[in-house]
Amino acid sequence: MSVFPSPRRRRPTGPKELIRTYDSYRRGLNTLLLDSELNPEEVRDATNLQLVGKGILEPRGGTDSFYRADSTGTVRYMADFYTNNAVQLLAITDNGFLTKKNGASYTRILGASFASGKRSEGTQVQGIQYLVDGTNPLARYDGTTLLSFTSLLRPTSLLITKSSGASGTFTWSYRISAESDVGETLASDPVTLANLPEQLTTDKFVTVNWTNASPASLVRGYAVYGRESGYETLLTRVPPNVTSWVDNGTTIDSSVFPPTTNTTGGPIAKHIMSFKGNIVLGNLNYDNSQVLFSGAGPNINRFTFTSGGGYVSIEKNSGDRYGITGLAEKEGKIIAFKGNSIYQVTISFNSSLGINEATVQKLIDGLGCISAGTVKQVENSIMFVGNVPGRGLVLAKLDYEPNLLTPTLRYQPISARIQSIINQVNTTRIQETHAVYFNKRYHWFLPLGGSAWQTIVYDLERLAFVGPWTLSNTWETHNHLDDSNQEHFLIGKSDGTVVELSDSYKDDEGVDFTWNLLTSRDDYQRPFQLKTIVDAKTKLRNVTNGIVQVKYIIQDKNGQQVTAKTAQFDPSNTFLLAGWGSRRIGYNNRFGYTPSSGNIVTTETVKYTLINKPNVLSTQIQITSSDGAKCQILSSEVRARQTSVNNVPNSWRG
């Protein structure tokens, strides 16, 4: 008998188990890296998906008709106009008319026209909506009447005659100006007549004649000035259909002198914003680098220094072909974007000169804004799309640099993770790109090809991208706040219609859209060791309307990617299985089971799939639907077992 105890035998152990769990996608879309380089919380594709909660993905909302903005024509502008505790939804299409929503249709507002094919901009100041399009003069709308600031030409061919009894030693002078709804022209050059009495009467009178100002349709009346040469004052006003007046000695106001400027016309600019009760314009037709600002209060329509207005040209003729490309406000200062740079404009009162002056500070060189339609105030930042030489288009934020003693505005590009999608933009349509901020997401609409669009969404709560969204025909967007304080995500189309994007809709105007999730590709931190993929589970919440497919993709020992198994969530069936080897979680398939009746529409449902695939390098999961299915993608898990390190394929051996 041995005096030594028998050695304890070790129980044999099986291959090490490897598990990859996906239960959050909060880092969003990343197309910069390879699938195998992604973080498990990043995804390779999130087509038509959006993030909610801690990082759950769900299909975006659908679209449905909201109203018709005009009979036809691409929608170029939408805005809310607030008046008398009500909201008017305004729009401009390529038809050239300003319209307002009237039920499911529209009402045209006549009085000014807008250029076809050009994006319009507007802003509301002192209860007036001011509008520009880069081609036509500034226009204004007060809730009832639309007026154009089209300049009138002053009256001409002034002729003075006297009655037979009018004689004397005095010489009188007369001038005529025309009035529009906006202002008054310069008065005509003075015309004098000698040998007149000092006092004109009903039988000793002078008749003044003139020709119509042009365009005659915009004339609302004429003002007659006279009599002392060089000191003419207002004598009378007459209706627009009157082009003669008899001076019989009557006057209405001897203290009003002829105007020194023509105030009937308005500036022609591409960009507009309100600023401290003033109108600010950018990119004028005569100087694309100029920022022009109006006076305030009663001088809101005037842009001269004497009325509190002014201007500044920012690096004119600097080689920047775009000029001013957008305007914004940041803490009491104007932010002026150019194509390759960004500036801060400060307006201050010069007491010695008695005028408002603008001073300019360059904030950023080498990056500007490519389209005013992308400039949006987002929380405390200004987001915009710019072009960086040598890099291309970028989505950027303009905000104060943290941890600096002196507040300094800096830009931060945030779109590197989706650069491959951005590079698909049609550069000839680059200035058509636009954005809207809605539900804490910055929705960026990228023009592709001749007329196609693609949408990338930046989630401000999770600081992550999702998309692309396959919304087509998205020429203009607007966040509309209705009379009930409900927000609506509106999209203007090329046929004059406006649709709403909402989670309440499951499809795009009756057509199902495909959504798709593709996760990172995972090698379980063992890139050269083959594994056996045992099984997988996926949990979805509230599957409705259609079928959801879950594809478990493997990369075999030869580097080929194939779909190993497909699971299917079908709300029309009761616990539909994924095929041979599938079983409902919680049941042992060795002894079989009888599924009980139930419905997966309003529950969290797990689908178990037996895969049993050997010689696998890595795995990836695709979850998709093409028939209008709605659900929330909660989590997925793949279970694998590693094989021997000596299991090396012959094709690898040198």
Mapped to the 3 state alphabet, what secondary structure does 613-633 carry?
EEEEEEEEEEEEECCCCEEEE
Structure tokens at 66: 């909201």
Instruction: Identify the pLDDT of residue 586.
Output: 42
Expressed in percent and rounded to 5, the helix, strand and coil fractions of the chain are 5, 50, 45
Which of the listed residues 247, 274, 304 is the one where a domain comes to its end?
247
Mean pLDDT value of segment 367-376? 94
Highest-scoring range by mean pLDDT, 4-13, 140-149, 398-407, 490-499? 490-499
Q: Is the dihedral of CA 295, 479, 131, 312 positive or negative?
A: positive
Average pLDDT, the chain: 89
- 620: in domain: yes
Mean pLDDT value of segment 464-481? 95
- Please report, for residues 44, 167, 368, 418, the alpha-carbon distance to residue 32 in angstroms, rounded to integers and kept in the order given: 9, 92, 23, 6
- 485: in domain: no
Mean pLDDT value of segment 370-394? 92
Provide the pLDDT confidence category of residue 360 given band limits of 50, 70 and 90.
very high
Mean pLDDT value of segment 150-157? 91
Provide the pLDDT confidence category of residue 12 given band limits of 50, 70 and 90.
low
Mean pLDDT value of segment 175-197? 90
The strand pairing partners of 52, in sequence order, are 56
Closest C-alpha among 48, 62, 44, 41 to residue 462: 41
pLDDT tens for each residue of 409-434: 888 899 999 999 999 999 899 999 99
Say if residue 496's pLDDT is above 80: yes
Which of the listed residues 223, 247, 271 is the one where a domain comes to its end?
247
Instruction: Identify the pLDDT of residue 603.
Output: 84
**Residue type at 540 in one-letter notation:** L
- 318: in domain: no
Do residues 488 and 500 make contact, with C-beta atoms less than 8 angstroms apart? yes
Structure tokens at 490: 């509106």
Instruction: Identify the pLDDT of residue 600.
Output: 44
Radius of gyration, CA atoms only, the chain: 36
Structure tokens at 55: 């990082």
Whole-angstrom distance, CA of residue 511 vs CA of residue 41:
31
Say if residue 379's pLDDT is above 90: no
The CATH number that applies at residue 26 is 2.60.120
- 191: in domain: yes
Say if residue 241's pLDDT is above 80: yes
Strands 105-109 and 56-59: unpaired
Instruction: Identify the pLDDT of residue 576.
Output: 45
Do residues 63 and 504 make contact, with C-beta atoms less than 8 angstroms apart? no
The number of helix segments (H) and strand segments (E) in the chain equals 1, 46
Which of the listed residues 209, 231, 247 is the one where a domain comes to its end?
247
Whole-angstrom distance, CA of residue 270 vs CA of residue 372:
9
Whole-angstrom distance, CA of residue 636 vs CA of residue 78:
43
Do residues 468 and 30 make contact, with C-beta atoms less than 8 angstroms apart? no
Instruction: Identify the pLDDT of residue 547.
Output: 95
Looking at the fold, whether 56 and 164 belong to one and the same domain comes out as no
Instruction: Identify the pLDDT of residue 341.
Output: 92
The strand pairing partners of 130, in sequence order, are 123, 140
Q: Structurally, how many domains does the chain consist of?
A: 2
The strand pairing partners of 233, in sequence order, are 226
Whole-angstrom distance, CA of residue 42 vs CA of residue 263:
59
Please enumerate in sequence order all residues whose Cβ is within 8 A of that of 51, keeping only pairs 6 or more positions apart, or say none.
25, 26, 28, 57, 459, 461, 462, 464, 466
Instruction: Identify the pLDDT of residue 238.
Output: 93
- 597: in domain: yes
- 652: in domain: no
DSSP state of 353: T
The strand pairing partners of 445, in sequence order, are 434, 455
- 475: in domain: no
Instruction: Identify the pLDDT of residue 444.
Output: 97
pLDDT tens for each residue of 603-650: 899 999 999 999 999 999 999 999 999 999 999 999 999 888 888 888
Structure tokens at 213: 């100002």
Domain containing residue 637: 17-60+515-644
pLDDT cut 70: percent of the chain above it: 92
Instruction: Identify the pLDDT of residue 118.
Output: 93
pLDDT tens for each residue of 574-612: 544 444 444 444 434 433 333 333 344 458 999 999 999
Provide the pLDDT confidence category of residue 292 given band limits of 50, 70 and 90.
very high
